[in-house]
A and B are shown apart, each in its own frame.
Chain A
Amino acid sequence: DTGVSQNPRHKITKRGQNVTFRCDPISEHNRLYWYRQTLGQGPEFLTYFQNEAQLEKSRLLSDRFSAERPKGSFSTLEIQRTEQGDSAMYLCASSLADHTDTQYFGPGTRLTVL
């Protein structure tokens, strides 16, 4: 399977714990995006990378959230001191910086904070 993969698919944690999610993009894609989606809403942009550089970050993103893409391939999203409001689906997408820039999404990581 050469699509975008995300791990884990589901994560249940207690409030105050740290969690880390991983995204493996399509191999030739140089752009990688993280989104958060809650029930009944469209995806909400969190941050985006071009290669290893983090180029944009949502102003709504708490400083408890950090993302890395150290070698320009896979990316990790860490949430520190989780809160119940962090419960959501976390989606990763990748794209090739061409004229369409179509984003291909992974299956998401469902986070539940108890």
Chain B
Amino acid sequence: KNQVEQSPQSLIILEGKNCTLQCNYTVSPFSNLRWYKQDTGRGPVSLTIMTFSENTKSNGRYTATLDADTKQSSLHITASQLSDSASYICVVSPTGGSYIPTFGRGTSLIVHP
């Protein structure tokens, strides 16, 4: 069964600090891995997308890494801002016939002033 596990479940940091969120997956073979940001009560918004051959992808203060051998990804947020408070969801899409992506439960990040 395809699974995506994220850690930590929740995280509280002070404004200006850096943090790293983790994602482990079992989806294989996979087409791509995405990180989404979801504000409370809103739909998810794509932050980064990586194919199996990519190791890192940046989007402003967000940097995602991927190790396809160990099936792990991380999302690093630099110089956090209050607006970074949200849920961050890791999503892995398979290849070969099914287009159904597998979503993690997300990491809830709270940035305090």
* Interfacial residues, chain A to chain B (CB-CB below 8 A): 4, 31, 40-45, 48, 55-56, 89, 91, 93, 100-108, 110
Contacts and interface: CB of A to CB of B under 8 A. Distances in A.
B101 A103 contact: yes
Given A31-B99, A56-B100, A102 B46 contact: yes
Interface string B1-42: 000100000000000000000000000000110100000011
Given A100-B32, A101-B93, A44 B103 contact: yes
B93 A91 contact: no
A62 to B, nearest CB: 18
B79 interface: no
Interface of B: 4, 31-32, 34, 41-46, 49, 89, 91, 93, 98-101, 103-106, 108
Contacts, number: 52
Contact of A45 (B41, B101, B108): B101
A110 B34 CA distance: 25
Contact of A91 (B31, B32, B34, B43): B43
Given A43-B44, A89-B41, A102-B49, 19 more contacts: A31-B99, A40-B108, A42-B89, A42-B91, A42-B103, A42-B105, A42-B106, A45-B103, A56-B98, A91-B43, A101-B93, A101-B99, A102-B46, A103-B46, A105-B44, A106-B43, A107-B42, A107-B43, A108-B42
B105 A40 contact: yes
A25 B100 CA distance: 18
B93 A108 contact: no
Contacts of B100: 45, 48, 56
Nearest to B97: A56
A42 B42 CA distance: 13
